[in-house]
Amino acid sequence: MAESATPEQIVIVVDFGAQYGQLIARRVRDLHVYSEIVPCDITADEVRAMAPAAIILSGGPASVYAEDAPSIDPEILGLGIPVLGFCYGQQAMAVALGGEVAHTEKGEYGPAVITRAGESALFDGTPGEQTVWMSHRDAVSRVPEGFAITSRTEVCPVASMEYPERKLFATQFHPEVRHTEFGQTMLRNFLFGVCELEPDWTMDSIIEDSVAAIRAEVGDDRVILGLSGGVDSSVVAALCARAIGKQLTCVFVNHGLLRKGEPEEVEEVFTKQFDVDFIHVHAEERYLELLAGVTDPEEKRRIIGTQFWKEFFAVAEDLAQDGRPVKYLAQGTIYPDIIESGARKTGGKASTIKSHHNLIPFPEGVHFDLIEPLDHFFKDEVRALGTALGLPDYIVHRQPFPGPGLAIRIIGDVDGEKLTILKNADAIVREELDAYNERLFAETGERNSEHTVWQYFAVLPDIKSVGVMGDERTYARPVILRAVESSDAMTADWARLPYDVLARISGRIVAEVPGVNRVVYDITSKPPATIEWE
């Protein structure tokens, strides 16, 4: 399998089940150093093989002395690679090296003021007293031999500790959260001061590395790309077009589960505005037949994902008629697809939340070598990459649309009638919320800012309810409105839409979409819900 281009310098974040694991990796990447999360049972040999330039130990919910509490292999701390531990990470470091951890009399949650003690490279350029963010009940009560205490709070005797000669540093507080006043300075001090890293992981270098990796992998062979018109696959298309030009054929599968007007738009954009070979596969009937009567969400995802492979393979066989076989399939797989599918490359530690269509195993008889240059990235990073590649805003800022399409927004089995209802209701939701987002954009000047609605759509549940329209009883379907704020789809909150916007959407759907007599709004965040309903 073709790996994405991993930069030479990498910082690994050892995850003890932190709430902020992703955030740590992001903060490091924001400083232009590549970072990736690894599970906490990683062995010293595995770390050696990855040869990271630095290691960060995350926080975590456990208590170090609890049964089954995760720990760090002390050998890892002795590899000579600089280590920085946060919270549970500090506690785990202390215990691994012979120090002690105890319950504090009262925990510290939220802001705390630390007082520094002595010199520390980690605190360079920060004041003697400063506000940090804490979230802990335990604390280091005795530091391991050779360690110095570099700050304390009233409650916590070891707010930070270090053994600079061995390049081991740790804090009880969380430098990765925005509320820690000088958190980003500390991270910078660690990466560029202690570890002497170069901030060279820039969009331009990412593009260069990816293009070179694709070229090296593919050589003179041919590639087909699953192109949905979405952000991820469009960015991969741009990267592949740069790398291998006309060896690339883009394949758009119209499975009939797309939004109203979408197939026409995608075809228009990629045949008229981009110079790529584009094939539109009409698979509407095949999908409807395969999905008939299927109600289980994972079963639907499996059928849809499997059929995607078959459609791509059929195109590849067709193209190969001219004597030049197609060996590679490129896709816009991104990191959240992988982590949620509990799939390969995460080391299998994550649990399966839902099987993303692009991670379903190949059916018998189908094989491709995969090219997935975005498989380490989050959505907002993909967008930044798209902008750097010169893709237009309407593609870069398109809201995500899942590969299995409307099939996972129709709860229960899928049929033509339900698809029509959902397409029409969804078109109204998009029209109204597109306009709302445009108004916010006009006010803030920022697309996909924290103020705009990130993703919005309609869901059709498998129930009916009683209503009264035109003095007559109705027994018809409700439509669920889902609108969320997010930046990377890993977490999301429901959008606090103004009542007048909600009222207009509800009024229009019931008036304009036959078969619907009620509209409800989903006010659940992710977690505990997910963005999609299936």
Ligand X SMILES: Nc1ncnc2c1ncn2[C@@H]1O[C@H](COP(=O)(O)OP(=O)(O)OP(=O)(O)O)[C@@H](O)[C@H]1O
Ligand Y SMILES: O=c1[nH]c(=O)c2[nH+]cn([C@@H]3O[C@H](COP(=O)(O)O)[C@@H](O)[C@H]3O)c2[nH]1
Which parts are annotated binding residues for ATP? 228-234
Residues in 373-412 at the binding interface with ligand X, rule: CB under 6 A: 398, 400-403
Based on the shown chain and the rule CB under 6 A, indicate whether residue 485 belongs to the binding site for ligand Y: no
For the segment 382-401, give every residue that binds ligand Y (CB under 6 A). Answer: 400
Q: Residue 90 to residues 142, 150, 386, 405, 451: CA-CA distances in angstroms?
A: 12, 13, 38, 44, 35
Distance CA(510)–CA(507), nearest Å, equals 6
**DSSP conformation class of 165:** G
Of the listed pieces 200-208, 271-279, 383-391, 526-534, which binds ligand Y according to CB under 6 A?
526-534
Is 174 noted as a catalytic residue in this protein? Answer: yes
136 binds, among ligand GLN, Mg ion, ligand Y, none (CB under 5 to 8 A by kind): ligand GLN
Q: For residue 59, state whether it binds ligand GLN (rule: CB under 6 A).
A: yes
To 5 degrees, how large is the angle CA 480–CA 481–CA 484?
Answer: 135
Binding characters for ligand Y, 155-194, by CB under 6 A (x = yes): ----------------------------------------
Q: Is 205 in the site for ligand Y (CB under 6 A)?
A: no
Among 1, 6, 48, 61, the residue binding ligand GLN under the rule CB under 6 A is 61
Q: How far apart are the first and last CA of the chain?
A: 29
CB of 56 to ligand Y, least distance (A): 26
Q: Which residues pair with 466 in a beta bridge?
A: 475
Q: Exactly one of 231, 248, 360, 425 binds ligand X (CB under 6 A); which one?
A: 231
Q: Tokens 């590649």 — which residue?
A: 389
Query: What binding mask, one character per residue, do residues 85-114 give for ligand GLN by CB under 6 A, x or -?
Result: --xx--------------------------
Which phi and psi (to 5°) does residue 329 adopt? -120, 125
Token pair belonging to 229 = 């018109």
**Taking CB under 6 A as the rule, does residue 140 contact ligand X?**
no
Quote the CA–CA distance of 192 and 180 in Å, as a whole number: 19
DSSP state string for 194-260: IS-------HHHHHHHHHHHHHHHHTT-EEEEE--SSHHHHHHHHHHHHHHGGGEEEEEEE-S-SPT
Q: Are 64 and 88 in contact (CB under 8 A)?
A: yes
Among 234, 331, 455, 517, binds ligand Y (CB under 6 A): 455
Q: CA of 428: how far to CAs of 54, 421, 422, 481, 510, in Å?
A: 50, 11, 10, 11, 10
Q: Is residue 332 close enough to count as binding ligand X by CB under 6 A?
A: yes
CB 308 within 8 A of CB 403: yes
| Position 89 contacts ligand X (CB under 6 A) | no
CA distance 409 to 418: 10
Six-digit token pair at 347? 């080391």
Between CA 59 and CA 357 the distance in angstroms is 32
Query: By CB under 6 A, how many residues form the interface with ligand Y?
Result: 16
Q: Which of 402, 423, 476, 479 binds ligand Y (CB under 6 A)?
A: 402
User: Residues 6 or more apart from 124 whose CB is under 8 A from it?
Assistant: 185, 189, 193
For residue 160, state whether it binds ligand GLN (rule: CB under 6 A).
Answer: no
* 127 makes contact with ligand GLN (CB under 6 A): no
Structure tokens at 151: 């700050």
In the bound state with ligand GLN, the residue whose beta carbon lies nearer, of 20 and 368, is 20
> Active-site residue among 40, 108, 156, 176?
176
Residues 125, 129, 133, 138, CA torsion sign: positive
As measured in angstroms, the least distance from the Cβ of 254 to ligand X is 7
Site string for Mg ion, 393-412 (x = CB under 5 A): --------x-----------
Binding-site member from 60, 226, 305, 373 for ligand X (CB under 6 A): 226
Cβ proximity to ligand X, 251 vs 505, nearer residue: 251
Pick the closer one to ligand Y by CB: 116 or 356.
356
Closest-CB residue for ligand GLN?
Answer: 59
Q: Which residues in this chain contact Mg ion in the complex, by CB under 5 A?
A: 228, 230, 401
Q: Which residues in this chain contact ligand GLN in the complex, by CB under 6 A?
A: 59-63, 87-88, 135-138
List active site positions.
87, 174, 176
